[in-house]
């Protein structure tokens, strides 16, 4: 049964696993998948892009699917719709990944159960970049603590 991972578990997962295959990555800098992958790459992780639409993303060779990756993958980070996750789980199991990570808004309990039954750890409905920043002290890195986004109303607004 899927249980939400606690903080020590998330810290261990991100501390022990250094190779991340980002399934559904975009080459467009403004897409969340691109931003998260760049952050992880800049923080010492090996990022392997997976998207059949590209040959290269962030200076890394891009693969059409997980099974085409020749090296060991620790985390399979999914930027796909929830309904697209089951075949990704099959591929993650086939390549011997350790963790299935589904990004914010990606929730598939059946796929999570299958991954757990195969021995993978599962993180669901969380962002790898946000969790890394929260747990390893990088929340001010790349645009979070820039004062561009604020809960305070600007003084110039009339309300």
Q: How far apart are CA 1 and CA 109, in angstroms?
A: 9
Q: What pLDDT, on a 0 to 100 scale, did the predictor assign at position 141?
A: 47
The reply to whether 129 falls in a domain is: yes
Q: What pLDDT, on a 0 to 100 scale, did the predictor assign at position 158?
A: 54
Here the tokens at position 136 are 């390893």
What region does 151 belong to: left with phi over 0, alpha with psi -120 to 50, or beta? alpha
Residues of the chain with pLDDT under 50: 141, 143-149, 159
Residue numbers of the domain that contains 80: 7-136
The structural domain count of the chain equals: 1
The reply to whether 50 falls in a domain is: yes
Q: What is the pLDDT of residues 19-43, one digit of tens each?
A: 999 999 999 999 999 999 999 999 9
Query: Virtual CA dihedral for 146, 9, 119, 15, nearest 10 degrees?
Result: 60
Determine phi and psi for 68, rounding to 5 degrees: -85, -10
Q: How far apart are CA 139 and CA 136, in angstroms?
A: 8
CATH number of the domain where residue 68 is located: 3.40.50.720
Q: How far apart are CA 139 and CA 137, in angstroms?
A: 6
């Amino acid at each position: 049964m899927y249980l939400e991972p606690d903080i020590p578990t998330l810290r261990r997962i991100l501390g022990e696993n250094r190779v991340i295959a980002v399934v559904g990555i975009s080459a467009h800098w403004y897409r969340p998948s691109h931003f998260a992958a760049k952050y992880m790459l800049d923080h010492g992780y090996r990022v392997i892009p997976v998207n059949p639409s590209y040959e290269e993303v962030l200076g890394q060779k891009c693969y059409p699917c997980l099974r085409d990756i020749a090296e060991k993958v620790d985390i399979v980070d999914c930027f796909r719709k929830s309904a697209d996750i089951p075949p990704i789980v099959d591929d993650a199991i086939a390549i011997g990944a350790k963790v299935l990570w589904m990004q914010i808004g990606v929730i598939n309990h059946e796929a999570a159960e299958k991954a757990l039954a195969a021995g993978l750890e599962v993180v669901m409905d969380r962002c790898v970049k946000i969790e890394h920043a929260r747990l390893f002290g990088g929340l001010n890195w790349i645009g979070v603590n820039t004062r561009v986004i604020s809960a305070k109303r600007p003084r110039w607004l009339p309300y």
